[in-house]
């Protein structure tokens, strides 16, 4: 059980996300992105709250162009929720804690 957000790269994406045993929330961010600073505590909260049934990872977009292109990340912050090779949910822009938690509940309670 990992209760914190794990940093990953293009090379780790398949193993850490697509081959994971549980759903994975991928948080795409950039060091130059002001709104991304607002999302970090929300991501940490999601990781701590759902650590028993969700893995939360983050990927910086600039050093990882392959995944960014593959999943059409057009702006940051962006979120992609995966279960296996299936993309369940996708958002762009800042979302607040309540919206994120309700979005996760919707998917995690269907398991």
Residues known to be catalytic: 33, 36
Edge-to-edge strand order for the sheet containing 6-7?
Answer: 6-7, 55-60, 24-29, 78-83, 86-92
Give residue 15's region: left, alpha or beta (phi > 0; psi -120 to 50): alpha
The C-alpha R_g of the chain, in whole angstroms, comes to: 13
Nearest in space to 92 (alpha carbons), one of 108, 107, 74, 78: 78
CA distances from 94 to 20, 60, 79, 90 (A): 26, 16, 9, 12
């Amino acid at each position: 059980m990992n209760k914190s957000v794990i940093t990953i790269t293009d090379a780790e994406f398949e193993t850490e996300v697509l081959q994971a045993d549980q759903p994975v929330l991928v948080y795409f961010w950039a060091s130059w992105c002001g709104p991304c600073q607002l999302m970090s505590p929300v991501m940490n909260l999601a990781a701590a709250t759902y650590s028993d049934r969700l893995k939360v990872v983050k990927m910086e977009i600039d050093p990882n162009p392959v995944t960014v292109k593959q999943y059409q990340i057009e702006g940051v912050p962006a979120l992609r929720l995966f279960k296996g090779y299936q993309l369940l949910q996708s958002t762009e822009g800042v979302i607040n804690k309540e919206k994120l938690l309700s979005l996760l509940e919707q998917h995690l309670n269907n398991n």
